[in-house]
Structure 1
Amino acid sequence: MIPVAGLGTRVLPASKAIPKEMMPVVDKPVIQYVVEEAVAAGIKEIILVTRAGKSAIEDHFDSHYELEAELARKNKAELLATIQNIVPPDVSIISIRQPEAKGLGHAVHCAASIVGCEPFVVILPDVLVNNGGDKTTDLMRMVVEFENKRAAQIMVGEVPDNKVHLYGIADCGGIVPESGRSITIKGLVEKPNQDESPSNLAVIGRYVLPGKVMSLLAKGKPGAGGEIQLTDAIDALLELESAEAYKMMGDTYDCGEKLGYLKANLAYGLQHSDTANGLRQFISTLTSAHG
Structure 2
Amino acid sequence: MDMPSTVRRHLREVVSALRVLATVLGTLLLAALPTGRVRAPEPTTPVADARSLVVLVHGFGAGPDCWDAVAAALGGPGVAVVTHRYTWTAGVDTLGAALADEVEDLARRSGARSVTLVGHSLGGVIVAAGLAGGRLGGIVTRVVTVAAPLRGTRWARLFPVGAVRDLRAGSPVLRALADVPATAGVPWTTVASRADVVVTPAAATLEDTDTVVLDGIGHCALLRDADVIARVAGLTRPVRRTRATVIPARPVPARPALTLVA
Task: Give the TM-score, by structure 1 length.
Answer: 0.27
Q: In terms of Rg, which structure is larger? A: 1
Task: Give the TM-score, by structure 2 length.
Answer: 0.29
Higher strand residue share = 1
